[in-house]
Amino acid sequence: MNFLSLALTTQPEPDWSRVQALPIHECDEPLVPLGLVPPPIRVYPTYFHLGIGGALSECYVRRSVLARLQKAARLLPAGIELVVLDGWRPLAVQQYLFNTLTQALRRHFPGEDEAGLLARARHFVAPASAEAASPSPHLTGGAVDVTLCDTEGGMLDMGTEFDDIGPWSATAAFEAVARPGPKEAEIIENRRLLYSVMIRAGFSNLPSEWWHFDYGNQNWAWFTQQPHALYGPARLPGLAGRWERQVALLGG
């Protein structure tokens, strides 16, 4: 069995307070767009297509994240391509996702206190934060949501939809199926393939989400046992800000 088909193991959820306490040594890598990147990487900004306010029509990641996505894509077998569903995420979109999920949980678990609701939501959506010491993972440009497709653009079966909040979204969930039929076996192989190429390319995976991978942020530092993260909160450079910096360099 080659590395692309190694069995996935169940990983515990991290201690989020300790994750957020990890130091960040910001390396100032810029955000770069993925829209011009050639196959075998495809870009489908899901939240934009869902019509979520403030969502971008382009996916952005840090420069080193792009290099690792390209490495992961090159490791895929012929006929399979990597699909990026989301990367850097504006704070307003992160807040919308967190609010929407917690509101749904509050309606379904009316007796749950706020701490319990936060713990449930935290499995799938981080609280919105642009704090320098503890930013939301997607706000750093180091988190990516990905899946696989064939050369015709048909998504491979991963067992759940992207952003599904059920127990089957856990990366290793289907490994527990005692007697997998043809459908389950296909899902298992697809998840193993995605996980294997992303980990080999230098990413870490969020155990509760088969689609979520990190590089350079606090999640990545925790799961790969690094002493510090490389990425804090990032912002897209606007034209006005760029001109301000250039004018300042003109002197006089």
- Give me the active site residues, please: 209
On whether 138 is known to bind a ligand per the annotation, the reply is yes
Compute the distance between CA of residue 133 and CA of residue 139 in angstroms, rounded to an integer. Answer: 12
- Backbone phi, then psi, for 133, in 5-degree steps? -90, -15
Antiparallel, parallel or unpaired: β 80-86 and 143-150? antiparallel
Going by C-alpha positions, the residue among 207, 87, 73 that lies closest to residue 145 is 87
Compute the distance between CA of residue 134 and CA of residue 21 in angstroms, rounded to an integer. Answer: 7
Burial (Cβ within 10 Å: 0-12, 13-18, ≥19) of residue 78 = exposed
Q: How many CB atoms lie within 10 A of CB 12?
A: 6
The token duo for 61 is 């990641």
Compute the distance between CA of residue 65 and CA of residue 217 in angstroms, rounded to an integer. Answer: 11
On whether 212 is known to bind a ligand per the annotation, the reply is yes
Whether 162 contacts 206, CB under 8 Å? no
Binding site residue list for Zn(2+): 138, 145, 212
